[in-house]
Structure 1
Amino acid sequence: MQIQAHNAHDVNEQQTVIDGWEQHYQQMSPGAFRGQIVHMEVGGVAVYEEQMNTRVEQYFHAPASSLVFSFDTNDGSLYLLNGESQNTWITPENYKEVAVVLDQKYLSGLGCLDLSALDGLFLTPLGSQQSRVFGRWLSSTLASLLAAGDQLAEESLARQLVDDCLYVLECSTPTLDGSGLRRLAQDRKIVRKVLELVTAFPDENFTALELAKAAGVSVRQLQKSFTAFIGVAPNHWLRLRRLNAAHRDLLRARPGETTVAEIAMRWSFWHLGRFSEAYRSLFNELPSSTLLRRS
């Protein structure tokens, strides 16, 4: 199969590149977005490398009947995902990960792999020296294949990738102790409940008290969980999401159909000057410039 690179200049372009994944992205730190996804398929195994220069909130649901080995090349962590894995988190700036995705057909041929033994490891940060080395090797291998313009990767590479992933998994252990894993699970659960509420009622401008009530926790616990898991306070998180919603509407609209002021007020930005300033700070352009792109 061909190896391809997809370059994106907007976070909304980035989220649509990978087929089979349910993904929703929000830009969470200032700057003109730059992203790239390299995709290769060989022998029933899909390989991806994703890079993004700004912080990005990722909500994702892994493909059905899949097993995913995802390597964070920033800190060397390995994350296992399956078809039931869904999560939301915010990447660091200049983030890069590589992933090996096995589909159901390929998994059926792996008689050596007991999937039930992986219960409890999904979405758990795993670490080892081998994980760091393999993540860097896979990234450099994709870069070499892309630079060489190879249109067909050897079928033997698929088996090598799977064997290497299973070996790295065998060498890896959770990077958090029992109490740390419990806090991670609690924070993830709180954030997920808040995300479900905000997604169900995107036009509402919720208060921290309303979010805490939806999550079944105190405002203090809500603040702690968001700071630990997302990296920002819930009110700031909501504001960034509303700016992203305005950004998407401006990208979709045609000049003459609507105005910047109408879209700003749709997302509860009542002071146009402050909205424009916040928008330019996050996306490195004025909202009027985004609206004019469609012309």
Structure 2
Amino acid sequence: MSAAAGPVETRSAAPPCDPPANPPFSYTLRDTLDADEHAACLTNWQQQYDQLSAGLFAGEFEEFCFGNVQLFREALNQSVHQAGIAWPGSRTVAVPIAIEGTGWFGGETYSEDSMLTLGGSDELDFRTPRRLEIVACTADTAALNTYALQVEHRDLEAELAGRTTVPASPQQMADFGALLSTMMASLRATPDLLRHAQMRTAMEQALFATLLDTLPPAPASPSLAPSCRARQFVVARAREYMETHIDEPITVADLCVKLGVSRRTLQYSFQDVLNLNPVKFLRAIRLNAVRRALKQTAGSERTTVADIAARWGFWHLSHFSAEYKAMFGELPSETLRRAG
């Protein structure tokens, strides 16, 4: 891995938990030549890195901070020992995406099959193998646990208390790592999309939802499954809410909170009544909203497809374009051009 002295790109703004007067996001990308320099990169963490293996140090660090989350990726070509703490009131989950050998984390060995977690009050005790690339998400504990309680009726922090590794399958780990990598790649290409509050909310909820899917919940009692009449009632209330908030980028989490049901109950209800899961139903609603916005703002020199998609929470632009074309038979740029 090649490395250059100093920052490649840095955008300064508010990391998680900073005062709201600051800008709403930050992006940092650096190549590092020293373990101390690398340790200082992670916003709001207090760390010390000691290089353990011999040779020139070459590291790569990338970070996005917005809302209640901090996404970061770090790659190292030397074994280091990391000590310190994360920012107070946080929860970190990390997965290796490239690793040679095994390492040590919080009293346990870890490998390519390990998903790691760290609480905001936990001491970091992390020895890396000689080569490691890892992606991670650090989230505000209160925001994450509130989401888990409202959407899944789970006390996630109680489930993770005292853990250093997470019991996830290789496929679940791969899915979580792929989401983090894809999300960071999208933001790297167009970081300014984070200035839209809807985009920040959509990405935050996508992270929280995938994390909850990754962590296996306790088995649900069959007796708790809602009846057919109850499921019909849930769908009717959900559709009523969506119709009265048609100009807002509603999410599955919003519906769960407003209706007082779990995501699983919402899933069962939509699947039985409409033969369509709530995610696809909401995606169709949002795609139609984007289409209307494109037609209404056509001809404006300041209007871009990316901006309108971001307002409705579509953060992966290539996926959005494919979904839009599959739904309407044309690309969003074609809708904009034709309406203009």
Which residue of structure 1 lines up, in the alignment, with residue 72 of structure 2?
48
2:93 is matched by which residue type in structure 1?
A: F
1:84 is matched by which residue type in structure 2?
A: S
Which residue of structure 2 lines up, in the alignment, with residue 28 of structure 1?
52
1:49 is matched by which residue type in structure 2?
A: R
Structure 1 length-normalised TM: 0.52
Change (3 A) 1:142 1:29: same
Q: How far has the Cα of 1:130 moved from its partner?
A: 0.9
Pair 1:170 & 2:211 matched: no
Q: Distance in 1 between matches of 2:217 and 2:76?
A: 29
Q: How far has the Cα of 1:141 moved from its partner?
A: 3.3
CA contact (8 A) 2:47 2:85 kept: yes
2:54 aligns to what SS in structure 1? coil
Q: Distance in 2 between matches of 1:149 and 1:33?
A: 30
Q: How far has the Cα of 1:138 moved from its partner?
A: 1.6
Q: How far has the Cα of 1:8 moved from its partner?
A: 1.1
The answer to which of 106-115 and 41-50 deviates more is 106-115
Q: Deviations over 1:248-278 (max 9, x none)?
A: xxxxxxxxxxxxxxxxxxxxxxxxxxxxxxx
CA contact (8 A) 1:78 1:127 kept: yes
1:152 is matched by which residue type in structure 2?
A: L
Q: How far has the Cα of 1:171 moved from its partner?
A: 7.5
Q: How far has the Cα of 1:63 moved from its partner?
A: 2.0
Structure 2 length-normalised TM: 0.46
Structure 1 counterpart of 2:177, from 128, 131, 135? 135
Task: Within 5 Å, give how 1:51-200 maps onto structure 2.
Answer: 51-73=75-97, 74=99, 75-104=112-141, 106-107=143-144, 109-110=146-147, 111-112=149-150, 113-114=154-155, 115-120=157-162, 122-124=163-165, 126-128=167-169, 129-146=171-188, 148-153=189-194, 154-155=199-200, 156-170=202-216
Q: Distance in 2 between matches of 1:33 and 1:133?
A: 30
Q: Distance in 2 between matches of 1:65 and 1:46?
A: 13
Q: How far has the Cα of 1:104 moved from its partner?
A: 4.3
Which residue of structure 1 lines up, in the alignment, with residue 108 of structure 2?
none
Change (3 A) 1:21 1:168: same
1:158 is matched by which residue type in structure 2?
A: E
Structure 2 counterpart of 1:37, from 61, 75, 80? 61
1:170 aligns to what SS in structure 2? coil
Q: Deviations over 1:13-48 (max 9, x none)?
A: 001111222211011112211112211123321111
CA contact (8 A) 1:55 1:90 kept: yes
The answer to which of 133-142 and 24-33 deviates more is 133-142
Q: Distance in 1 between matches of 2:190 and 2:62?
A: 13
1:102 is matched by which residue type in structure 2?
A: A
Q: Which runs of 5+ in 2 are unaligned?
A: 1-24, 100-111, 219-340
Q: Which runs of 5+ in 1 are unaligned?
A: 173-295
Q: Distance in 2 between matches of 1:171 and 1:97?
A: 25
2:53 aligns to what SS in structure 1? coil
Q: Distance in 1 between matches of 2:166 and 2:211?
A: 15
1:82 is matched by which residue type in structure 2?
A: G
User: Among the aligned pairs, what percent are the same residue?
Assistant: 27
Larger RCO (alpha carbons 8 Å, 6+ apart): 1
Q: Deviations over 1:101-129 (max 9, x none)?
A: 11145246423441223234x21353412
